[in-house]
Amino acid sequence: MSKREPIAEGSEWTFDALETFEREIGKIAADRYRLDTYRNQIEIISADQMMDAYSSVGMPVGYHHWSFGKQFLSTEQRYRKGHIGLAYELVINSDPCIAYLMEENSMTLQALVIAHACFGHNSFFKGNYLFREWTDASAIVNYVLFARDYISECEERHGVDTVETLLDSCHALMNLGVDRFRRPNPISPEEERQRQKEREDHMQQQVNDLWRTIPQKEQIAEEKWPRFPSEPQENLLYFIEKNAPLLEPWEREIVRIVRKIAVYYYPQRQTKIMNEGWATFWHYNLMNDLYDEGLITEGNVLEFLQSHTNVIHQPDYDSPHFSGINPYTLGFAMFSDIRRVCENPTEEDRRFSSGYAGADWLEIVHHAMANYKDESFILQYLTPKVIRDLKLFSILDDDSDSAISVTAIHDDDGYQNVREGLADQHNLSKQEPNIQVWEVSLRGDRSITLHHDQHDRIPLDEEDAKEVLKHLHRLWRFDARLESRRGDKVHRVFHCNDEKVWIDSGEGSQSTETS
């Protein structure tokens, strides 16, 4: 293959060069690697705009809330003080796929970022099953637009403070706004707008039915009332939206908006390692291909490798810079190792990864990208080599033991344990408390009761739990209770009524009170 002229000289980027890079990288990505992407929309932004984008959680528009202001101020402060650098890019799961590129990136970095975001992340958004099932990339931008307009309309009608308080409460329960075991309907903003009024009336009707207090003809004896809900409900926000007795229709709509946005982020929260790993894996390969074709110079390659090395740096657990496992490092190492196992399998790989050792690597990485999330991906594809390279080890911190014990290291006996441990660590349903709506007293005091099932005896953070319960009470408007259960035994009970929040220990002996 004859070498071609480099696309750009020097470190200053130009719009022409960006366009050429997009085209050339796109060609390799599609022809050689079968990366299927949404159309790209590249936007060049300044540092200030990047900080804006950070604080609206990556959305091009967002409704107004003080917490986004807090996010902005904190980013600004840390950036101005030099504690953090800003990301080179930010990419949105939308169709067309919007990628924000920082203006101060050098030419090399822009090429790297185009490969990373516009082809890596982009193809992940389009291909991964979670994103396909949970989000609708073509609708999200319009939906957040609708949400912002609707909320600012509510602010005009009901006052900024009222809406803010409601949003505070919704945000507190946002993580419980997802049906983990059911697939949602994709968001469709047109329909949202059209049917919103209809829904308001209909919903209020249903709620009124549920809370009917006028005696009905055939009175059922008190003890015969079926429990409501008949099954425990994990989607707390949905439950509130549909059943909270006193919410106004517009309040239900806002609960719904927060819930819909929670759903949109749900796949991202479960694919951090895969998503970053995939994007990093592809920018690494694509940049090397550009060099092989002569489209970038040796100087570019050195600069790219330096950035790449920084991105995938993993501080050790005892380093002051350690802040958990770096998803770029782990993801990149795993995808690269899938390729290695396919191309150059060792004896160990044939034993450990028999399913795909020696197979077509491109086939396998595509399959992994499309059909896994972090937890299952690690369980399936974390190889002994990666465990050894990162020197991963498992510890058990049990409060009934006087010391922390090391349960596995990177040796033959430990691989499986480390794999399972790391997979668990990325399993949202094990990392977040398991809380469900247990019962609502329909014919009594209208109180709502939640159950928390403790996993491995891990309790709730009590201060936060009390605060969240207040928010729940604010939405439900009647007494709220939360039973934290250890197996069959009640360990703690959190109460919130109109005046105060307090905690009872399971036996009901001790109690601490706060107003």
Partner 1 sequence: MAFLIIDRRQQGKQKSAVNRQRFLKRFRKHIKEAVSDAVNKRSITDMERGEEISIPKKDISEPIFRQGSGGKHHRVLPGNKEFIRGDRIDRPKGGDGGGGGKASNQGEGMDEFVFELNQQEFLDFMFEDLELPNLVRKQLKDSDSYKLVKGGYLREGIPARLNVVQSLKGAKARRIALGGAIRREIKSLEQAFEALDDEDSEEGREISDKLERAQRRLNQIPFLDDFDLRYNNMIQQPTPTTSAVMFCLMDVSGSMTQDIKDLAKRFFVLLHLFLKRHYQKTEVVFIRHHTKADEVDEEEFFYSRETGGTVVSSALELMNTIVRERYPTDSWNIYAAQASDGENWTDDSPKCRDLLVKSLLPLVQYYAYVEISSGKEQELWQTYSEIPEHFPERFAMRVVKEPADIFPVFRDLFERKST
Segment 262 to 321, residues that bind partner 1, using CB under 8 A: 314-320
| Closer residue to partner 1 in complex, CB, 264/356 | 264
Asked if residue 339 lies in contact with residue 386, where contact means CB atoms within 8 angstroms, the answer is no
Site string for partner 1, 79-108 (x = CB under 8 A): -x---------------x---x--x-----
Residue 237 near partner 1 by CB under 8 A = no
Within residues 167-226, the interface with partner 1 by CB under 8 A covers 168, 171-176
Angle at 32 between CA 31 and CA 33, to 5 degrees: 100
CA-nearest of 453, 414, 461 to 437 is 453
Alpha carbon 308 to its chain centroid, in Å, reads 24
Given candidates 20, 33, 58, 72, which one binds partner 1 under the rule CB under 8 A?
72
DSSP 8-state secondary structure symbol assigned to residue 227: P
The least distance separating partner 1 from the CB of residue 92, rounded to whole angstroms, comes to 13
- Strands 40-45 vs 97-102: parallel, antiparallel or unpaired: parallel
Given candidates 12, 399, 488, 513, which one binds partner 1 under the rule CB under 8 A?
399
Measured CA distances, 321 to 28, 326, 327 (Å): 37, 11, 15
Residue 73 near partner 1 by CB under 8 A = yes
Residue 258 near partner 1 by CB under 8 A = no
Within residues 35-54, the interface with partner 1 by CB under 8 A covers 37, 39-46, 48-49, 51-52
Given candidates 462, 500, 505, 511, which one binds partner 1 under the rule CB under 8 A?
462
Given candidates 8, 25, 55, 493, which one binds partner 1 under the rule CB under 8 A?
55
| Closer residue to partner 1 in complex, CB, 70/157 | 70
Residue 67 near partner 1 by CB under 8 A = yes
Identity (one letter) of the amino acid at 177? G
| Closer residue to partner 1 in complex, CB, 2/319 | 319
Three-state SS annotation for 156-202: HHHCHHHHHHHHHHHHHCHHHCCCCCCCCCCCCHHHHHHHHHHHHHH
Within residues 117-136, the interface with partner 1 by CB under 8 A covers none
State residue 489 phi and psi, 5-degree precision. Answer: -95, 145
The least distance separating partner 1 from the CB of residue 16, rounded to whole angstroms, comes to 10
Residue 459 is encoded by which pair of tokens? 């309790």
Rounded to a whole number, what is the distance in angstroms from the first to the last CA of the chain?
A: 76
Q: Residue 288: count other Cβ atoms within 10 Å of its Cβ.
A: 14
Residue 14 near partner 1 by CB under 8 A = no
Site string for partner 1, 402-441 (x = CB under 8 A): -xxxxxxxxx-xx---x--xx-xx-----xxx-x------
| Closer residue to partner 1 in complex, CB, 274/418 | 418
Asked if residue 336 lies in contact with residue 281, where contact means CB atoms within 8 angstroms, the answer is yes
